[in-house]
Amino acid sequence: MKDTFKHKGLRKQLVAILTAKGITNTAVLEAIGAIPRHLFIDSSFLEHAYQDKAFPIAASQTISQPYTVAFQSELLEVKPADKILEIGTGSGYQTAVLCLMGAHVYSIERQLELFKKTNQFLPKIGYVAKRLIFGDGYKGLKEEAPFDSIIVTAGAPFVPKPLLSQLKIGGRLVIPVGDEDQIMTLYIRKGPKEFEKHELGNFKFVPLLENKN
């Protein structure tokens, strides 16, 4: 569980790459510059940790590409103490970014193995989410709604209705929508039944799985 000067140097380079790709939010860049991403992936693949690439984790899932994490985090327009719901905890890296930005994070994972692993690991390295939940993200988290924002980190074939209805007025849902490839989509809730929709480019995620819990 070491974080050396070499790792810190590699993170600086990664932050420079993300800046060059257009990420400007300083809180996002600071979080990525601070979080030891190498601890979130298998130790035999250390050299991959600070490349701007997705990488396999347990249970045939992936830790999202740093650029994707930065892009989605930026779209959330996080303010300290924002209540945020994440769907797809996975390695917990995106969760850690949001925690470090001062958000109160609730995160749902449907893979038991990953849930257990990340539930133990995150607090160990100092990132404390409000709640990590083993369950189905398609349903959202009604008992904690409404949320300032919701982030989905798996490719959704359609936009689950509960996620839209669990947003505060003014709240933001960031969700990659599509089967093979996904379009990053931002919904802003303007009123009880009004949503503004923005489509923000193509991405590739592992699928958001339904009825498989």
Burial of 188 (0-12, 13-18, 19+ CB in 10 A): middle
Determine if 132 is a binding residue for ligand SAH (CB under 6 A): no
Q: How far apart are CB 7 and ligand SAH at their closest, in Å?
A: 18
Concerning whether 64 is annotated as a catalytic residue, the answer is yes
Q: How far apart are CB 199 and ligand SAH at their closest, in Å?
A: 21
Determine if 23 is a binding residue for ligand SAH (CB under 6 A): no
User: Helix/strand/coil (H, E, C) string of the chain?
Assistant: CCCCHHHHHHHHHHHHHHHHCCCCCHHHHHHHHHCCHHHHCCHHHHHHCCCCCCEECCCCCEECCHHHHHHHHHHHCCCCCCEEEEECCCCCHHHHHHHHCCCEEEEEECCHHHHHHHHHHHHHCCCCCCEEEECCHHHCCHHHCCEEEEEECCEECCCCHHHHHCEEEEEEEEEEECCCCEEEEEEEECCCCCEEEEEEEEECCCECCCCCC
Query: Cα separations (Å) of 6 from 50, 55, 120?
Result: 11, 20, 26
Among 34, 159, 183, 209, binds ligand SAH (CB under 6 A): 209
Determine if 94 is a binding residue for ligand SAH (CB under 6 A): yes
Determine if 138 is a binding residue for ligand SAH (CB under 6 A): yes
Among 70, 136, 174, 186, binds ligand SAH (CB under 6 A): 136
Specify the stretch interacting with ligand SAH by CB under 6 A; choose among 22-30, 120-128, 135-143, 181-189.
135-143
Among 88, 140, 171, 176, binds ligand SAH (CB under 6 A): 88
Determine if 64 is a binding residue for ligand SAH (CB under 6 A): yes
- State the catalytic residue, choosing from 43, 64, 73, 149: 64
Determine if 153 is a binding residue for ligand SAH (CB under 6 A): yes
Q: Which is nearer to ligand SAH, 159 or 196 (CB)?
A: 159
As annotated, the active-site residues are 64
> Which residues would be at the binding site for ligand SAH (CB under 6 A)?
61-64, 87-88, 90-91, 93-94, 108-111, 114, 136-138, 153-154, 206, 208-209
